[in-house]
């Protein structure tokens, strides 16, 4: 049951991040007219390749610190704070109607393969590094209590959200439908933002009570 909760939480948090405009979404939108509905899954695969390396690297580093309760508490508090800030920013941007999906910056003339573009878009996003240094680190720290299974469950829950969202975007754009840009999506993002704030509070509470 706890592993399911870990999977669900990582999926929702990853889904929240995937829905917000960024370099990876720009590539997905720009390349769909050329490559069709499969753009989303292929771009997500490139993103998944970049993420599996950072999950393995961070997990190996955290394993040596897993027995230090103070370190785990600090990571939880910092990660929880980052979640709250991320959720608050997402909610604020939705309320102020500042979320736009008119993204056209991606280079349509590049000869690189889509998976390579997914990797490049991921590594070119400074926010990605910040997320993994705070929220991602906190999730991995918690997942290690399940042994090696924890980071694996977290990774697949996290990356599944990217596959789902970017695939939905490419399929709908390829079919000529733009319902993803409507009011329902903004409500969904706002609900996800509220969940991030809640989860951040849980992380901070857990960290503060295990000092």
Question: For the chain, what is the largest distance between any 2 Cα atoms, rounded to a whole number of angstroms?
Answer: 54
pLDDT at 24: 86
Region 184-211: what's the mean pLDDT? 78
Write out the residue range of the structural domain in which residue 44 sits: 2-209
Return the pLDDT at 178: 59
- Residue 82's SS3 state is helix
Checking if the pLDDT of 28 tops 90, the result is no
Asked if residue 211 lies in contact with residue 73, where contact means CB atoms within 8 angstroms, the answer is: yes
At residue 155 the predicted structure's pLDDT band, cuts being 50, 70 and 90, is very high
Query: If you average pLDDT over each of 2-6, 72-76, 86-90, which comes out highest?
Result: 2-6
Please tell me whether the overall predicted TM-score, pTM, comes out greater than 0.85 for this model: no
HEC letters along 56-107: HHHHHHHHCCCCCHHHHHHHHHHHHHHHHHHHHHHHHHHHCCCCCCCCCCCC
**pLDDT grade for 42, boundaries at 50, 70 and 90:** very high
Number of domains observed in the structure of the chain: 1
């Amino acid at each position: 049951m706890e592993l399911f909760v870990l999977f669900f939480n990582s999926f929702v948090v990853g889904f929240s991040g995937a829905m917000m405009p960024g370099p990876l979404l720009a590539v997905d939108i720009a390349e769909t007219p050329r490559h069709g509905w499969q753009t989303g899954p292929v771009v997500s695969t490139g993103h998944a390749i970049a993420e599996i390396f950072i999950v393995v690297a961070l997990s190996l580093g955290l394993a040596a610190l897993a027995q230090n309760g103070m370190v785990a508490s600090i990571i939880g508090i910092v990660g929880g704070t980052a979640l709250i800030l991320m959720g608050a920013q997402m909610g604020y941007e939705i309320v102020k109607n500042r979320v736009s999906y008119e993204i056209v910056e991606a280079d349509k003339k590049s000869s690189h393969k889509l998976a390579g573009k997914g990797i490049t878009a991921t590594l070119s996003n400074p926010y990605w590094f910040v997320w993994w240094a705070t929220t991602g680190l906190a999730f991995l720290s918690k997942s290690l209590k399940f042994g090696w299974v924890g980071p694996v469950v977290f990774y697949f829950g996290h990356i599944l959200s990217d596959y789902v969202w970017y695939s939905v975007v490419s399929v709908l754009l390829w079919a000529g439908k733009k319902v993803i840009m409507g009011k329902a999506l903004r409500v969904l993002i706002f609900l996800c933002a509220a969940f991030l704030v809640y989860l951040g509070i849980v992380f901070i509470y857990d960290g503060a009570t295990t000092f």
